A and B are shown apart, each in its own frame.
Chain A
């Protein structure tokens, strides 16, 4: 089983739609969680960290469910510019000095 699993998509949604991605992780001791965004042929960039209480940044909401070991990302009022691949990223226990990246979920927002 992969340490971090994501549905590769693509998710094709119209502008203005709400879309949600889930990501599951296998290590119950994982400590830190992130969503990164990667545009085609570009480097990944941090979208948002994911906190235990959930957090929101504009149209983006991230949730963490430790009991079920999954992370979610909700995008409201989708824009064409949201089209990208969204990477779920997890840091294992506190002894781990590196992050584990999911394979990514591709989102295509259509006019």
Chain B
């Protein structure tokens, strides 16, 4: 099993450009999450999903959109990238919020 995978691993954008980050899991998990991690800030939740077709806002949702059209995939979109969105983005999935979350390897995004 691949576990949780993220695409791409690295990306450089110019201000105003758009992009989509893809997260895929092969563990049949219902719950999926998108986090960003900045130095000294820890992991902050952007959006999450409790099942196919559902999404909800996390702590820092502004400037991002998500979709969960298939149970195994969770997409994070940036419609108009800003330098403040320079960060490392992690996706995670789990069977239940009380259980272990499995993380992808991360996407390092730089917005110039």
Contacts and interface: CB of A to CB of B under 8 A. Distances in A.
Contacts, number: 48
Interface string A36-77: 000001111110010000000000000000000000000000
29 contacts: A31-B98, A32-B97, A42-B105, A42-B106, A43-B104, A43-B105, A43-B106, A44-B90, A44-B101, A44-B103, A45-B103, A46-B100, A46-B101, A49-B100, A91-B97, A91-B98, A97-B31, A97-B48, A97-B56, A98-B33, A98-B45, A98-B58, A98-B97, A99-B97, A101-B35, A101-B42, A102-B42, A103-B40, A104-B42
Contacts of A46: 100-101
Interface of A: 8, 31-32, 34, 41-46, 49, 87, 91, 96-104
Interface residues of B, number: 22
B24 interface: no
Interface of B: 31, 33, 35, 40-45, 48, 50, 56, 58, 90, 97-98, 100-101, 103-106
Main secondary structure of the interface of A (DSSP, over half): loop
